Amino acid sequence: MEDKSSITQQTELVTAQEAKRLFTQAGLSAATFYRYVQAGQIESILPTGRQRGAKYPKNQVLTALGKHSITPAVFSQATVEDMPEIATLLETFYNAKISVEKRGAWIQRNPQAVYILRHEGKLVGCTFLMPLSEEKITQILTSQIKPPTKPDEISLYEPGKQYTLYSRATVVLQSVSKKQRRHWAARLITGLINTVIELGRNGIIIDKIYAQGDTKAGERALRSLGFMQIELYAPTARRNFVLDMAKSGSLYAAKYRAALNTWKAQNEEI
């Protein structure tokens, strides 16, 4: 194992001030830098004969910063071929076996029911937005164990017809920094918002969107979009939410209504 003098000779070193500046430029605190030092992930090297003025290997500082870097991802409609990767991602989050065949059948039934995020070809996020009957959605929300959804229970979109949607399993890869997870989760949510607005542009009338909070962060995201918590008897700790697209004052719902009204104006019978 190399000693510190050997590392000093081979590696570019930076001062604590320079290292902290790199961290703050990346949106991180000086305290975060010192946590890496205390954990031994950034080595503190004192010049010979000195007790203060430690320096730090720049490559280790940059490696630590890399763990917090934000990388973009592309939102798109899922295909049946994506389902094995989606299942693997869901299993890491829910710790449950996911049927590739059953969920692949959902996409075959309605390709607009499942969406994904990819970064450099790797699947890093997924979400489901399913047009179901309100009766089916209520059954899902009030069951401790979610009942199976059959493909023929998923509606097919037709312009001018009304639908109730169920948003489920908005999941991102967990083996990255918290900052990265938040970024990808926000990208998924933005993609869903744009998807719903696009449905409005195509004349799809959405009555309500239901969702269930799987995590505290998920609940906060739902509330930020204008979802309201609803009280349904359910033997589960999960909270249930609804967004009334006709009545909600949220910007999300307003943009959807504007898109739908534009479609209605363009398709009025003369």
Domain ranges of the chain: 6-66, 127-266
Local confidence band at 270 (pLDDT 50, 70, 90 cut-offs): very low
pLDDT at 137 over 90: yes
* Predicted pLDDT of residue 231: 83
* Other CB atoms within 10 Å distance of the CB of residue 75: 19
Q: What is the mean pLDDT of residues 223-235?
A: 82
| Sign, Cα dihedral of 113, 169, 184, 201 | positive
Rounded-to-integer distance, Cα 266 and Cα 250, Å: 25
* Predicted pLDDT of residue 138: 93
pLDDT at 193 over 60: yes
Q: Which residues contact 43 (CB under 8 A, 6 or more apart)?
A: 4, 7, 37, 56, 57, 60
pLDDT digits (tens, 9 = 90+) for 100-124: 999 999 999 999 999 999 998 999 9
Local confidence band at 216 (pLDDT 50, 70, 90 cut-offs): confident
Q: Is the pTM of this model over 0.85?
A: no
pLDDT digits (tens, 9 = 90+) for 65-94: 877 777 778 999 999 999 999 999 999 888
pLDDT top residue among 239 and 118? 118
Q: Which residues contact 161 (CB under 8 A, 6 or more apart)?
A: 204, 205
Q: Judge contact between 260 and 163, C-beta under 8 A.
A: no
Q: Which residues contact 38 (CB under 8 A, 6 or more apart)?
A: none
pLDDT digits (tens, 9 = 90+) for 15-59: 999 999 888 777 678 888 999 999 999 999 987 777 788 999 999
Local confidence band at 3 (pLDDT 50, 70, 90 cut-offs): very low
Rounded-to-integer distance, Cα 56 and Cα 73, Å: 32
Beta bridge partners of 127: 115
pLDDT digits (tens, 9 = 90+) for 146-173: 899 999 999 999 999 999 999 998 999 9
Mean pLDDT of the chain: 88
* Predicted pLDDT of residue 18: 92
Q: Judge contact between 115 and 127, C-beta under 8 A.
A: yes
Q: Judge contact between 228 and 246, C-beta under 8 A.
A: no
pLDDT top residue among 92 and 268? 92
Beta bridge partners of 229: 241
* Predicted pLDDT of residue 87: 96
